[in-house]
Amino acid sequence: MADTAMSVDEKFCLSEVLDTFKSCLTENKEVIIDKYVAGWRGLVRFMNSLGSIFSFISKDAVSKIQIMVNLRNGENGEQYFTIQSMVKYELDNGLVDTTKRGSHPDSGCRTLLRLHRALRWLELFLERLRTSAEDSKTSVMCSEAYSESLAQFHPWLIQKAAGMAFCALPGRLTFFEVMNVGSPEQVVAMLGEALPLISEVYQITEDLYAKHDLLGIP
Ligand SMILES: CCCCCCCC/C=C\CCCCCCCC(=O)N[C@@H](COP(=O)(O)O)[C@H](O)/C=C/CCCCCCCCCCCCC
């Protein structure tokens, strides 16, 4: 049974998120939805600790996480064990609006695609953080990562609101402290460990969605 309650107030722990993404993949390289969602939940906790200016982002992420949790807890929950089984089940049963919005606005494939696009932003942002100089600005790194990924899928108003929120990000050192991992060197080492796993999960999902022509679900 997947978690039904969303707790977003617990303290963030980067190693916990790292472990969750690590445990996302099965031996057959399928992506386990419960673990994927748990990874996002950890990231949302972290974002909440940065201040209420991020709450509009947090709310959207939480609502998408909750849609996935509800699908896992629904009568066909077993079909949502992995992203691969979800895609097969929803496509076989006509449960995805692939070209225009219709009767399945909250399909698993559509909802997960939004998180998947955000995972690309995360990958780009973390890579910038990992290789950043002491005087680098988190707001700039975050904004560049956003422009290269999620921004193309967001309307102007959301882009502006996101840009304003990024300006409220703490400086690099404070940001590292909130991660609660240790020294900056330890943070960099942790990021170096986390990134290949996040990239692998991203690429597997990207390839699967591309294979089924699902990357543009409206
Ligand atoms: C080691 C950790 C360091 C980094 C921690 C990052 C923590 C980030 C946590 C959560 C990120 C939120 C993910 C947001 C998912 C957005 C999905 C989306 O694109 N939704 C839009 C489209 O949905 P539909 O309308 O089609 O259903 C929706 O319109 C979006 C609304 C809200 C704005 C989303 C802005 C996203 C900016 C992502 C950067 C987050 C910055 C966090 C800074 C640490």
Ligand 1 centroid to 122 CA: how many Å?
A: 9
> What pLDDT does residue 7 have?
45
Report the mean per-residue pLDDT for the chain.
Answer: 92
The residue among 157 and 178 whose pLDDT is bigger is: 157
Q: Model pTM?
A: 0.94
> Looking up tokens 């997960």, which residue turns up?
112
> What pLDDT does residue 21 have?
83
> What pLDDT does residue 10 have?
53
Domains and CATH numbers, the chain: 14-211 (1.10.3520.10)
Closest CA to 213 of 120, 98, 103, 65: 98
Q: Name, in order, each residue with C-beta under 8 angstroms of 73's C-beta and a sequence gap of 6 or more.
A: 1, 2, 4
Q: Establish whether residue 56 lines the binding site of ligand 1, counting it when its CB lies within 6 angstroms of any ligand atom.
A: yes
The two three-digit tokens of residue 13, written as one number: 């722990």
Residue 120 CA to residue 118 CA, distance in Å, equals: 5
Q: Which letter, b or e, does each residue of 103-114 get, where b requires 16 or more Cβ atoms within 10 Å of its Cβ?
A: ebeebbbbbbbb
Q: Name, in order, each residue with C-beta under 8 angstroms of 201's C-beta and a sequence gap of 6 or more.
A: 21, 24, 25, 31, 36, 119
Q: Establish whether residue 114 lines the binding site of ligand 1, counting it when its CB lies within 6 angstroms of any ligand atom.
A: yes
> What pLDDT does residue 52 have?
94
ipTM score above 0.95: yes
> What pLDDT does residue 11 have?
57
Using CA positions, which residue lies closest to atom 34 of ligand 1? Answer: 57
The two three-digit tokens of residue 95, written as one number: 């449960």
Give pLDDT tens digits for 15-34.
Answer: 778 778 889 999 999 999 99
